[in-house]
């Protein structure tokens, strides 16, 4: 970011560990906005379940509890999922929460847009080439507030099962409670040290396709806090395109003779296909074009019931860029 830093922390920035995930500091989103949202969201999640369920009518948008998507994925969490573009959807929220969400989302959306401009610059594209796909009338931008209470009875419980984010880019902030883990290219899971003053940027599946695999979406998951730990609260902005947006490797990026790794699809088609799958499935699998000498990627990863996740090995490096 022009006035910020995207730090690269050494060994894990190399070819083995380079995945589409980094931490942005000095991003310009005032801490007061995030703090206000965190307080309002905590008050919302502290309400009786019956009151919260009144906000669950707009599925898949609205309030959700333990169930993620409609295909049986569960996690130890509750959440609010809202559309940014359509004014957070049609259901009512406490006005103070809505106002805090609006203000925070506008600020973090700007960070997402600027990250996309810098990525486009770095790729030698027109500066607006990526941003204009997701920050345009009709685009499918979402904001999600996840609340993971401490699990009193067990440790290592799945809060949010492993997955990649389907959109172009995601911008995440959490409170001081950890739990987020990402998978390095060699399959190792590493914890991400929580840092409420930073924003964590994820490459989504759509950006992987647009760059023909130059930028890779990163698998991530969340382990719920244990008894005695504070709840984890995270807020994520997802930059997704308009349903009619064609998702295909950008021709400007393809070198002479370079084959597209994916067949063309629209964001609407991808979303429809993704909603029929499980969270941990390789949702790009059906769109991959097998290339000579390359196995199609494995698409039978499932992360289903609330279950203990394999504890990660000691982290080789924590908290910066992976
Ligand atoms: O809550 C988190 O830290 C991450 C959640 C997540 O990956 C998501 O909502 O897509
Ligand atoms: Fe995610």
Q: Is residue 300 part of a domain?
A: no
Rounded to whole angstroms, the Cα distance separating 2 from 115 reads: 10
Q: Considering only 51-65, 111-125, 129-143, 178-192, which range has the smallest mean pLDDT?
A: 51-65
Q: Is 235 a residue whose pLDDT tops 50?
A: yes
pLDDT of residue 56: 75
Q: Is 2 a residue whose pLDDT tops 70?
A: no
Distance 165 CA to ligand 2 centre (A): 5
Q: Which of 172, 179, 194, 198 to mutate to test the pocket of ligand 1 (most atoms within 8 A of CB)?
A: 172
Ligand 1 site, residue 144, Cβ cutoff 6 A: yes
pLDDT of residue 87: 61
Of 263, 262, 276, 269, which Cα lies nearest the Cα of 244? 269
Task: List the domain range (segments joined by +) for residue 27.
Answer: 20-287
Ligand 1 site, residue 147, Cβ cutoff 6 A: no
Contacts of 88 (CB under 8 A, 6+ apart): 82, 98, 101, 102, 143
Q: Is residue 2 part of a domain?
A: no
Q: Is residue 316 part of a domain?
A: no
Beta strand 5-6 pairing with 199-203: unpaired
Q: Which ligand is nearest to the CA of 174?
A: 1
Give the mean pLDDT of 106-128.
97
Q: pLDDT by residue (tens digit) across 294-320?
A: 544 544 433 233 555 555 554 443 333
Q: Is residue 305 part of a domain?
A: no
Q: Considering only 64-68, 117-121, 229-233, 290-294, which range has the smallest mean pLDDT?
A: 290-294
Q: Is 264 a residue whose pLDDT tops 60?
A: yes
Q: Could you identify the atom of ligand 1 that is nearest to the CA of residue 220?
A: 7
Q: Which of 23, 81, 141, 144 to mutate to test the pocket of ligand 1 (most atoms within 8 A of CB)?
A: 144
Number of structural domains, the chain? 1
Q: Is residue 103 part of a domain?
A: yes
pLDDT of residue 302: 33
pLDDT of residue 105: 97
User: Domain holding 85: CATH number?
Assistant: 2.60.120.330
pLDDT of residue 14: 38
Helices (H), 124-230: 131-134, 205-210
Q: Is residue 154 part of a domain?
A: yes
Q: Is residue 93 part of a domain?
A: yes
Q: Is residue 101 part of a domain?
A: yes
Of 85, 119, 3, 99, which Cα lies nearest the Cα of 44? 99
> CB–CB of 215/253 below 8 Å?
no
Distance 256 CA to ligand 1 centre (A): 38
pLDDT of residue 312: 53
Distance 220 CA to ligand 2 centre (A): 6
């Amino acid at each position: 970011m022009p006035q910020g830093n995207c730090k690269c922390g050494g060994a894990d920035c190399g070819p083995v560990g380079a995945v589409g995930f980094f931490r942005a500091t000095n991003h310009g989103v005032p801490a007061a906005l995030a703090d206000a949202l965190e307080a309002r969201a905590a008050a919302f999640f502290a309400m009786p379940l019956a009151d919260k369920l009144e906000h669950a009518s707009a599925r898949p948008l609205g309030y959700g509890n333990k169930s993620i998507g409609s295909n049986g994925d569960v996690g130890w969490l509750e959440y609010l999922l809202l559309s940014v573009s359509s004014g957070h959807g049609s259901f009512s929220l406490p006005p103070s929460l809505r106002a805090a969400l609006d203000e925070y989302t506008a600020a973090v959306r700007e960070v997402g847009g600027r990250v996309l401009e810098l990525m486009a610059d770095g790729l030698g594209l027109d500066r607006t080439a990526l941003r204009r796909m997701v920050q345009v009338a009709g685009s499918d931008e979402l904001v999600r507030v996840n609340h993971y209470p401490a699990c009193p009875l067990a440790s290592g419980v799945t809060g949010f099962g492993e997955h990649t984010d389907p959109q172009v880019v995601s911008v995440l902030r959490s409170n001081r409670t950890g739990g987020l883990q990402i998978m390095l290219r060699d399959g190792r899971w590493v914890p991400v040290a929580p840092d409420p003053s930073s924003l964590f940027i994820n490459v989504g599946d759509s950006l992987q396709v647009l760059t023909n695999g130059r930028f890779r979406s990163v698998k991530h998951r969340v382990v719920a806090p244990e008894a005695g730990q504070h709840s984890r609260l995270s807020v994520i902005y997802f930059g997704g395109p308009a349903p009619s947006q064609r998702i295909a490797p950008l021709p400007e990026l393809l070198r002479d003779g370079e084959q597209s790794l994916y067949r063309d699809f629209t964001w609407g088609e991808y979303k429809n296909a993704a909603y029929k799958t499980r969270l941990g499935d390789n949702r790009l699998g059906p769109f991959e074009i097998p290339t000579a000498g390359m196995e199609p990627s494995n698409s039978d990863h499932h992360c289903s019931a609330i279950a203990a996740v394999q504890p990660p090995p000691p982290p080789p490096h924590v908290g910066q860029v992976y």
